[in-house]
Amino acid sequence: MPSSPDRQQALRRFAEHHLHGRELDIVPASSDAGFRSYWRVRAPGEPSRVLMDAPPDKIDCEPFLRIGALLAEHGLPVPEVLASDLDQGFVLLSDLGERTCLETIQAGAAPGPYVEAAIALLVRLQQVPAPDWLPPYDRGPLEAELDLFVDWYLDRHRGIVLSDADRAVWRDARARLVDAALAQPQVLVHRDYMLRNLMPPIGGTALPGLLDFQDAGRGPIAYDPICLVKDAFASWPADDVETWLRSYHAQATAAGVPVPAWAQFRRDADWIGMQRHLKVIGIFARIAHRDGKPRYLTDVPRFFGYLFEVLPAYPEFAALADLLERVAPKDAD
């Protein structure tokens, strides 16, 4: 239950009210890297539900509800909203299952079918017209995210202050990455499209259930595909990554999604991938120091590894590669 006794009582009262006062078993379902937590609610003789706890002083639930309604309107498999109280920050949802696609793979399942199902869902997602009210994932947020690497990973976590020369290298790389992102076709982007946020298909559908979509926006078309194949919490062989990207590209092209020709798309995926990898390193450092969740730092070497896989292919980033080599943790590949 939530750490505050008052919050625990409020959450239980909300659940009891909407489930008609039945004797309820409320157990942890999951938590995210922010302030949300999720609770599985079981009542005798009833299907389980999931209760999202999003403290209103820290999180606005409105984007989750509005974007979820948009996706449901277009037939995408998202949790059904059964009840909500925005003043308290509680949302009662249908339960899409107890184990994510990533957890299913970690338990021994082959990743291929789950990634291919995720690709099929992603192509459907990118066909949803991005409404005007959806926030643009444009220069401002792209630059601010990149700066998390300097502010939180280098400065706060490592105590590294960039020299004037290194700061010039950083500004040049940041400008190149952001300009390239803005030059891509812009579509609806989930912004955290990974197997951890997808649930195995249930109920006869071939598509996985989609979670954690509250930060969706209008942004670069290659962003979600690279999120999927360069996962934050699991690494796949390079040959598989290439096969999956080609599968996405072929399906997106056939569906009329405005994906560019393969060579341009592959470059776009690498470059927006670099933006994401640097951002996530900064976010994981911020979560450790601001939110007291140091466990995320164990995945930082994975993201340096992703960067070092692609940087040698792009001479324009040679100075950035040198900078990152000097600041990377010793266990980064």
pLDDT tens by residue, 264-282: 999 999 999 999 999 999 9
Q: Whole domain around residue 45: which residue ranges?
A: 5-94
- Do 84 and 162 sit in the same domain of this protein? no
Q: Quick one: which of 176, 171, 129 has its CA closest to 147?
A: 171
Cβ(122)–Cβ(112) under 8 Å? Answer: no
Return the CATH number at 30.
Answer: 3.30.200.20
| Enclosing H/E stretch for 244 | helix 238-254
Residue 246 is encoded by which pair of tokens? 């080609």
Residue 51 is encoded by which pair of tokens? 């209760």
* Rounded CA Rg of the chain: 21
Report the alpha-carbon distance of residue 149 to residue 331 in Å, rounded: 18
Return the CATH number at 189.
Answer: 3.90.1200.10
Residue 293 is encoded by which pair of tokens? 């969740």
Q: Which residues pair with 30 in a beta bridge?
A: 38
User: Strands 198-199 and 209-210, how do they pair?
Assistant: antiparallel
- Do 54 and 195 sit in the same domain of this protein? no
Domain boundary among 72, 94, 116: 94
Helical axes 238-254 vs 262-291, angle rounded to 10°: 120
Report the alpha-carbon distance of residue 324 to residue 318 in Å, rounded: 10
- The vertex-270 CA angle with 269 and 271, nearest 5°, equals 95
Cβ(33)–Cβ(58) under 8 Å? Answer: no
- Do 138 and 88 sit in the same domain of this protein? no
- Do 245 and 177 sit in the same domain of this protein? yes
**Residues 23-46 pLDDT 10s:** 899 998 876 666 889 999 998 888
Tens of pLDDT, residue by residue, the chain (333 residues): 556 788 989 999 999 999 887 789 999 887 666 688 999 999 888 899 999 999 999 999 999 999 999 999 999 999 999 999 999 999 999 999 999 999 999 999 999 999 999 999 999 999 999 999 999 999 999 999 999 999 999 999 999 999 999 999 999 999 999 999 999 999 999 999 999 999 998 766 689 999 999 999 999 999 999 999 999 999 999 999 999 999 999 999 999 999 999 999 999 999 999 999 999 999 999 999 998 989 999 999 999 999 999 999 999 999 999 999 999 998 765
| Enclosing H/E stretch for 42 | strand 37-42
Q: Name the DSSP class of 85.
A: E
Provide the number of structural domains found in the chain: 2
